[in-house]
């Protein structure tokens, strides 16, 4: 019967198995490889998701709003937390399926790890000892989300090209144009009558918030895009330059003195670093603008030009825009709680009681100001001291120092992103430090998200390779030319970067394999 089935064309099971093995052998010899979803492929997709989440966050946080009394800050905070939730899952998948090699490389950055871990740990401690624990728990959630975003962007910074920062350009242009239309009462898509904003200037919110929020956000964008315009080449350089000038125009429209001074300070440092002639030109240009602003009413510049006159007259309330009571209250909280502070997010709850108490101690001239209950100190240096004590502020200063020290690694790597990180590090730190003198970039999601993302990119781009990895890279091997693109580099089946010229794994990848 067996022979009859075989003759009739119905092969036996053993014959079928031999035929299948022969077919598979033939296909294998011809170069066919069965498509199997490997762990490295899943990890590569998770890392790509993190890259797109980082770029999408930069876009979303610049335009997110929702109808209601708080149209801008609350929706942006929700968007930032949503990105943190997505990022933590994608990061977990990337680590589980991709191994811990990248994590071990990041752990070698002991200074960054110490500051990040110290900030989270100290936030938990000050929350437990807070004067208003419910508010501090909400602030702790924000801090944890910021830490997650930092780690996620830091993890994939090696896959993010410098040109990815150009996603900020359309956001900057849209916000600048809308702020100008609102400032000059041409068109305003929002109804602020419920908020009782009487002047057109206060209604110039763009898609960020109030004019100070707009100025602070665009000041950071101006410094970042100006740095990118110095580094990129070709059309990308012009796109970055257009974005930088659009951001500068938005800063002027916002009439925020703090934002103007911030951009001027960063520009002065960049000019000094380039050459003394450039620094001289920048200085003379600023002086000329201030002189003209004393004669002609120029937005923002006139307010800056009046600062010396206000100092000589002693008009402190006008000079600080009626925010002196907020400064004094923050100092009072720090004086009473110098080590642990009053707790993250507790400033808004304790401000009015401190103002009433300090009004009996300090002169009325010093405590005179707007009769409002300040939720922020309008000075992040003082607010960090008030809410987290001296150790919390020391962690902030240490973070700025670690970022600034990336400039020392300029010659340690031939990676173009490392060169850009070293070039941008100090101007970025100057921007943060000056902006925090009379603003609160760490307290609102739009600016906080931008600062966290840029800090992670600068530290990730500027990370020096481990000596063992550096030894595998041959300096004699010529690097294939690579066009700067907005999307991350293409990856092969196993998640390895591919050479843009040949589509094969890079020389370093072949050697490490």
Task: Convert the pLDDT of each residue in 368-397 to its tens digit.
Answer: 766 778 999 999 999 999 999 999 999 999
Alpha carbon of residue 204 to chain centroid: 24
Mean pLDDT (whole number) for 114-122: 98
Tens of pLDDT, residue by residue over 454-488, are 999 999 998 755 444 444 333 333 444 444 445 44
Ordered by start, the domain boundaries in the chain are 165-305
Band of residue 157 on the pLDDT scale cut at 50, 70, 90: very high
Alpha carbons 192 and 110: distance in angstroms, whole number:
48
Nearest to 358 by CA among 324, 332, 389, 384: 332
Q: What is the pLDDT of residue 475?
A: 39
Tens of pLDDT, residue by residue over 321-368, are 888 999 999 999 999 999 999 999 999 999 999 999 998 888 877 777
Tens of pLDDT, residue by residue over 411-423, are 566 778 989 999 9
Band of residue 445 on the pLDDT scale cut at 50, 70, 90: very high
Mean pLDDT (whole number) for 32-56: 82
Alpha carbons 256 and 242: distance in angstroms, whole number:
21
Tell whether the model's pLDDT for residue 74 goes beyond 80. Answer: yes
Q: What is the pLDDT of residue 168?
A: 98
- Hey, CA dihedral for 160, 163, 165, 171, is it positive or negative? negative
Mean pLDDT (whole number) for 23-48: 69
Which range has highest mean pLDDT (7-16, 52-61, 191-200)?
52-61
Buried b (16+ CB within 10 A) or exposed e, 371-385: eeebebbbbbbbbbb
Which range has highest mean pLDDT (26-35, 38-47, 158-167, 300-309)?
158-167
Mean pLDDT (whole number) for 102-112: 92
Q: What is the pLDDT of residue 1?
A: 45
Q: What is the DSSP string of 442-505?
A: TTSHHHHHHHHHHHHHHHHHTPPPPHHHHHTS-TTSPPPP----SSPPPB-TTS-BB-TTTSSB
Q: Which residues contact 48 (CB under 8 A, 6 or more apart)?
A: 159, 488, 491
Q: What is the pTM of this model?
A: 0.83
CB atoms within 10 A of CB 317: 18
Q: What is the pLDDT of residue 481?
A: 42
Q: What is the pLDDT of residue 413?
A: 66
Alpha carbons 329 and 373: distance in angstroms, whole number:
11
Buried b (16+ CB within 10 A) or exposed e, 44-60: bbbbbbbbbbbbebbeb
The larger pLDDT score, comparing residue 316 to residue 245, is at 245
Q: What is the pLDDT of residue 469?
A: 41
Q: Which residues contact 2 (CB under 8 A, 6 or more apart)?
A: 12
> How many Cα atoms within 13 Å fall on the side-chain side of residue 53?
29
Tell whether the model's pLDDT for residue 493 goes beyond 60. Answer: no
Alpha carbons 136 and 278: distance in angstroms, whole number:
47
Tokens of residue 133, six digits: 């624990």
Mean pLDDT (whole number) for 109-132: 97
Band of residue 199 on the pLDDT scale cut at 50, 70, 90: confident
Q: What are phi and psi of 477, to 5 degrees?
A: -75, 120
Measure CA of the first residue to CA of the last residue in the chain; give whole Å: 55
């Amino acid at each position: 019967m067996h022979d009859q089935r075989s003759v009739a064309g119905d092969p036996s099971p053993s014959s079928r198995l031999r035929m299948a093995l022969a077919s598979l052998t033939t296909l294998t010899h011809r170069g066919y490889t069965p498509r199997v979803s490997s762990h490295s492929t899943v990890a590569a997709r998770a890392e790509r998701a993190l890259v797109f989440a980082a770029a999408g966050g930069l876009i979303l946080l610049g335009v997110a709003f929702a109808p209601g009394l708080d149209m801008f800050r609350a929706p942006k905070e929700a968007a930032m937390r949503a990105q943190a939730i997505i990022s933590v899952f994608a990061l977990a998948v990337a680590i589980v399926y991709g191994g811990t090699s990248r994590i071990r490389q990041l752990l070698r950055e002991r200074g960054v790890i110490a500051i990040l871990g110290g900030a989270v740990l100290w936030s938990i401690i000050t929350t437990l000892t807070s004067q208003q624990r419910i508010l501090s728990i909400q602030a702790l959630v924000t801090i944890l989300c910021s830490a997650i975003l930092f780690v996620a962007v830091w993890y994939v910074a090696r896959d993010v090209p410098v040109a990815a920062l150009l996603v900020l350009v359309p956001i900057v242009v849209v916000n600048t144009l809308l702020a100008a239309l609102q400032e000059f009462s041409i068109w305003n898509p929002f109804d602020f009558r419920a908020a009782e904003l009487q002047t057109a200037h206060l209604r110039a919110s763009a898609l960020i918030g109030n004019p100070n929020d707009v100025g602070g956000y665009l000041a950071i964008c101006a410094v970042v895009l100006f740095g990118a315009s110095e580094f990129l080449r070709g059309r990308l350089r012009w796109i970055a330059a257009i974005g930088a000038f659009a951001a500068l125009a938005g800063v002027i429209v916002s009439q925020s003195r703090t934002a103007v001074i911030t951009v001027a300070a960063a520009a002065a440092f960049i000019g000094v670093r380039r050459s003394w002639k450039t620094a001289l030109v920048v200085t003379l240009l600023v002086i000329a603008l201030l002189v003209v602003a004393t004669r002609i009413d120029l937005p923002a510049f006139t307010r800056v030009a009046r600062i010396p006159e206000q100092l000589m007259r002693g008009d402190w309330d006008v000079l600080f825009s009626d925010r002196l009571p907020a400064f004094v209250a923050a100092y009072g909280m720090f004086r009473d709680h110098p080590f642990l502070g009053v707790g993250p997010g507790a400033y808004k709850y304790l401000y009015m009681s401190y103002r009433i108490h300090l009004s009996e101690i300090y002169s009325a001239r010093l405590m005179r100001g707007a009769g409002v209950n300040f939720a922020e100190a309008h000075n992040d240096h003082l607010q960090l001291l008030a809410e987290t004590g001296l150790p919390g502020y020391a962690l902030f200063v240490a973070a700025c120092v670690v970022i600034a020290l990336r400039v020392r690694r300029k010659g340690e790597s031939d990676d173009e992103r490392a060169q850009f990180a070293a070039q941008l590090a100090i101007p970025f730190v100057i921007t943060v430090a000056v902006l925090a003198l009379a603003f609160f970039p760490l307290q609102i999601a739009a600016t906080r998200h931008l600062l966290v993302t840029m800090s992670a990119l600068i530290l990730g781009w500027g990370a020096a390779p481990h000596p063992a990895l550096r030894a595998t890279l041959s300096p004699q091997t010529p690097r294939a030319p690579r066009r700067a693109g907005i999307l991350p580099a293409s990856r092969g089946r196993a998640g390895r970067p591919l050479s843009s010229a040949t589509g094969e794994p890079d020389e370093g990848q072949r050697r490490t394999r």
